[in-house]
Amino acid sequence: MRRLEEIPALLMYEVGAGGPHARVVRHSRIRNIVRRGHELAFTFEPDPKHAFLDRSAVLRIADRLGIQQFEQHRTHWAIKDGDIPAELIATSTAERAQRTVAVVAAEYAEARREGRRREAAELAEELEDFPPSLEKALSLVPARILQQPTPKLYPILGIEPRTPEGRNAVVAVVARDHNGQDLPADWSYSLAWFLDLYGSATEAGRLDGALAECATHMIALGTGEGEAAAPVEDIGYALWRCSRSPKLIGDLAGNR
């Protein structure tokens, strides 16, 4: 066992152990290894310049490190041959990086996107420790949009039309529209605006349907008189939604 004290090692905290540093991996050498019954006790001397790594960076190259799937969910501390890739060590820091809400939210979105449900659940618990804030709300937008594709959020995330990411957004929004559940009252306006901006000829029929729903809604707002008339706020909101889409404005103008 003394030979292990000369081999560089990674000490990975046990998943689910909790605490603010549960997803931090330490890099250095193991010292003072002592067997106590069925357990090993040891001390760990962090590398002065490359002491801390993020767990997700380690698990991305788990195969190269020889970390088996079952070992990713318990404490794993010995890299048997000491061959830790230099590019992994390059991502390390001398001081433990602060896990901000933005960092945790980004990892949560990535875990959700890649279907790593156990990891996503752990990160969701970590997110609960952060108090409500505007930063937290904005940081969670990428994760929320995976759960509920929302047209107006894609531009906020910098997802551009006519790009692979934009195309994925169209597919997600169309799937939500097709599902038809939990759609907001102004969904037809959002869908018309989004498909006009992000869609292609493939979605032409769905865009026409959304435009027709918007026209029907606008006509209904103008049919009442007196107390039966729609509140001016409702009319103003509908007009504002229309103003965001040149296609919608043109279509409504043509139906006058």
pLDDT of residue 15: 46
Count of C-beta atoms within a 10 Å radius of residue 213: 15
Clarify whether residues 169 and 103 are in a common domain: no
- Considering the chain, what percentage of its residues have pLDDT values greater than 70? 86
pTM for the structure as a whole? 0.60
Tell me how many domains the chain contains.
3
Clarify whether residues 161 and 239 are in a common domain: yes
Segments forming the whole domain that contains residue 222: 148-256
Among 128-132, 157-161, 169-173, the range with the most confident prediction by mean pLDDT is 169-173
Model pLDDT for residues 4-38, shown as the tens digit of each residue: 777 777 777 654 445 555 567 877 777 888 888 87
Give CA separation, 32 vs 77, 96, 232, in Å. 14, 23, 77
Clarify whether residues 242 and 158 are in a common domain: yes
pLDDT of residue 91: 83
Last residue of a domain, which of 97, 113, 129?
A: 97
Residue with the bigger pLDDT between 227 and 53: it is: 53
Backbone angles phi, psi at 204, to 5 degrees: -60, -45
Residue 61 scores a pLDDT above 50: yes
pLDDT of residue 157: 87
Clarify whether residues 6 and 18 are in a common domain: yes
Clarify whether residues 115 and 160 are in a common domain: no
Tell me the C-alpha distance between 93 and 150, whole Å: 37
Residue 86 scores a pLDDT above 80: yes
Clarify whether residues 106 and 84 are in a common domain: no
Clarify whether residues 154 and 236 are in a common domain: yes
Clarify whether residues 256 and 168 are in a common domain: yes
pLDDT of residue 37: 82
Contacts of residue 179, Cβ cutoff 8 Å, sequence gap at least 6: none
Clarify whether residues 142 and 152 are in a common domain: no
Residue with the bigger pLDDT between 47 and 131: it is: 131
Last residue of a domain, which of 97, 118, 135?
A: 97
Clarify whether residues 70 and 154 are in a common domain: no
Residue 210 scores a pLDDT above 50: yes
| Residue (of 192, 183, 191) closest to 249 by Cα position | 192
pLDDT of residue 78: 47
Query: By mean pLDDT, which of 122-126, 237-241, 248-252 is the weakest?
Result: 248-252
Clarify whether residues 21 and 107 are in a common domain: no
Residue with the bigger pLDDT between 48 and 209: it is: 209
Contact 196, 246 (CB under 8 A): yes
Query: By mean pLDDT, which of 21-30, 88-97, 136-145 is the weakest?
Result: 21-30
Backbone angles phi, psi at 40, to 5 degrees: -110, 135
Last residue of a domain, which of 65, 97, 129?
A: 97
